Structure 1
Amino acid sequence: SDGLVFTSRLSLKSHPWLADHAIGGVVILPGTGLVELAVRAGDEAGCGVLEELVIEAPLVVPQQGGVRVQVAVGAPNESGSRTVEVYSQREEASDDAETWTRHATGTLSA
């Protein structure tokens, strides 16, 4: 397909500023971080405008270790828009599809 997948890793060790966004002692990636991930992936796909982003679940950053992040950009539709989805998985989890959590879905355009 003409879709793309971008990968990254977040942890408090590599991104200590994330510790400033804790709720009840749990570190959560701010919503603006999800927006930035989607826009950056859109830039790479030639669709740098984020038309919509629906946050479905918080992205928790563990106190120890890290979290794998994937941003999936779908193939362009007839108008050139693309879907975008942000997923994460705890670093120590097995790599099967059932351990990935979808955090946000949206639409990108040129």
Structure 2
Amino acid sequence: MSKFKSLLDTVKGREPEPEPEKPPQDSDVNHKKPVVRQEPIVEPQPEPKRGRPKGKRSDPDYEQVTAYIRKDTHASIKIALLQEGQKREFSELVQELLEQWVKSRT
């Protein structure tokens, strides 16, 4: 029997035929379900983030400023920092020198 038979009968003005009863299937029979012991749910640990570490730009303790210095001074400073070999950044040197200046004024 087609699943659209009753719809077709209604449209044609006929009395729909009653559907025959289906024999129960194994899935319809009430079987006792086995008791399943559930383990506690453990939240997975977040993976460490990939990529570059956060820099000074996103650190609220730092503020970006602009200063004009002579080109030859800037070039000399970059060369000296590279020769130091400590991989100290230009901004770290400026910070150190400015802190010394502030201390000298008190």
TM-score (norm 1): 0.21
TM-score (norm 2): 0.21
Select the structure of larger CA radius of gyration: 2
